[in-house]
């Protein structure tokens, strides 16, 4: 009887020991689940319409660096950081604080100053709107400078970038403007191949330096009356529309521009 009680107790003891020993281990090793990061999948074609993507990356990095610098310049001392209200105080800190309080109690003026300083830092660090505004302004200035620099880069090194087309919005703006200026000669046949290609040489403000019909020889050929009429109407449209609504940047890209006038869609009705 005693023997069995002894065995039972030994086993119980072993189980308690194992449990006691194993539980902290389990607790110490929580399953480390990484946070879920949502990723939007975008299909990227070989050639995108996003202008100057590599440059944009550089600019963003530059701005980030500047911001970092700004933060470090105005960051409060580490000491203050420790007594952030959000942070959980460690036992050691508590001890130190107690010690400080004891010390301070001996010198009340010092305590006041110390507390004052801490609270001022807290205010400055966390709630001073002027400071935040200044930060934003500065970052704006910096980004503006960066953009300006990037523009300078565009002028100088534009050839090193891949994309040479107008963005969709740039193209739409230009098209919309010319649509308004182009009076389509309604007498033209819709079932003939009438496509007028005009090459333009533009100034940075969008005004036309030179306009040239690419199939100029066709203009004066006999039986090409319709083509001539269409070409003349296209030239009138360009003249009426200038200065053209061109992008404010990237002059090198669009200083030579080709407009293809095709009225078939409209004439077919």
Partner 1 sequence: MLKMKKFYSIFFILIFLPIKSYGLIEVDITRGNLNPLPLAVSPLSIDENSRSSFEKLLKKKNIGSEISTIVENNLKTSGLFNPLDKDAFLQAPDIANLKPRFEDWNLIKAQALITGKVNVVDEKLRVEFRLWDVLAGKEMMALAFTTVPNNWRRVGHIISDKVYERLTGEKGYFDTRIIYVAEEGPKTKRIKKLAIMDQDGANNKFLTLGNELVLTPRFNPTSQMVTYLSYFRNLPRVYLLDIETGKQEVVGDFPGMTFAPRFSPDGKKIIMSFAKDGNSEIYTMNLENRIVEKVTNHPSIDTSPSFSPDGKYIAFNSDRSGYQQIYIMRNDGSKVKRISFGKGIYGTPVWSPRGDLIAFTKLHKGKFYIGVMRTDGSGERLLTENFYQEAPSWSPNGRVLIFYRETKTDDKGKGFSAKLWSIDLTGYNERMVATPTDGSDPSWSSLLSN
Q: Which residues in this chain contact partner 1 in the complex, by CB under 8 A?
A: 159-162, 164-166, 171, 174-175, 178-189, 191, 199, 225-226, 228-230, 232, 234-237, 239-240, 252-254, 256-266, 269
CB of 202 to partner 1, least distance (A): 10
Residue 28 or 159: the one with the smaller Cβ distance to partner 1 is 159
Phi, psi at 41, each rounded to 5°: -90, 125
User: Which H helix or E strand runs over 115?
Assistant: helix 108-122
CB-based contact 233:184 (threshold 8 Å): yes
* Distance from the Cα of residue 2 to its chain's centroid: 79
Of residues 74 and 151, the one with the C-beta less far from partner 1: 151
Quote the least distance from Cβ 197 to partner 1, whole Å: 8
Closest CB to partner 1 among residues 146, 195: 195
Judged by beta carbon, residue 52 or residue 174, the one nearer partner 1 is 174
Q: Which residues is 202 bridged to in the sheet?
A: 208
Least distance from partner 1 to the Cβ atom of residue 152, Å: 18
CB of 235 to partner 1, least distance (A): 6
Burial pattern 146-163, b for ≥16 Cβ within 10 A else e, equals beeebeebbeeebeebee
Residues 6+ apart with CB under 8 A from 70: 135, 138, 139
- Provide the β-strand partners of residue 196: 261
* Beta carbon of residue 140, minimum distance to partner 1 (angstroms, whole number): 32
Nearer to partner 1, 89 or 225 (CB): 225
Nearer to partner 1, 142 or 252 (CB): 252
Decide: 260 and 182 in contact? Cβ < 8 Å: no
CB contact at 8 A, 121 and 80: yes
d(CA 239, CA 257): 14
């Amino acid at each position: 009887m005693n023997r069995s009680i002894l065995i039972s107790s030994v086993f119980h003891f072993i189980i308690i020991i194992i449990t006691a020993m194993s539980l902290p281990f389990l607790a110490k090793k929580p399953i480390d689940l990484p946070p879920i990061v949502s990723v939007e999948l975008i299909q990227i074609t070989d050639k995108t319409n996003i202008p100057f993507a590599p440059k944009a990356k550089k600019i963003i990095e530059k701005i980030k660096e500047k911001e970092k610098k700004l933060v470090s310049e105005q960051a409060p001392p580490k000491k203050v950081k420790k007594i952030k209200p959000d942070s959980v105080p460690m036992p050691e800190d508590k001890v130190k604080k107690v010690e400080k309080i004891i010390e301070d109690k001996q010198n009340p003026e010092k305590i006041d100053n110390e507390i004052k300083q801490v609270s001022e830092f807290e205010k400055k660090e966390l709630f001073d709107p002027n400071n935040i505004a200044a930060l934003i302004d500065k970052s704006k200035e910096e980004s503006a400078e960066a953009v300006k620099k990037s523009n300078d880069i565009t002028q100088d090194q534009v050839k090193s970038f891949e994309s040479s087309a107008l963005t969709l919005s740039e193209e739409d703006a230009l098209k919309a403007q010319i649509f308004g200026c182009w009076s389509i000669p309604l007498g033209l046949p819709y079932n003939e191949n009438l496509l007028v290609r005009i090459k333009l040489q533009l100034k940075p403000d969008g005004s036309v330096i030179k306009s040239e019909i690419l199939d100029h020889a066709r203009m004066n050929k006999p039986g090409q009356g319709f083509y001539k009429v269409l070409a003349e109407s296209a030239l009138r449209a360009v003249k009426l529309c200038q200065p053209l609504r061109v992008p404010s940047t990237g002059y090198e890209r669009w200083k030579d521009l080709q407009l293809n006038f095709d009225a078939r869609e409209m004439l077919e009705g």
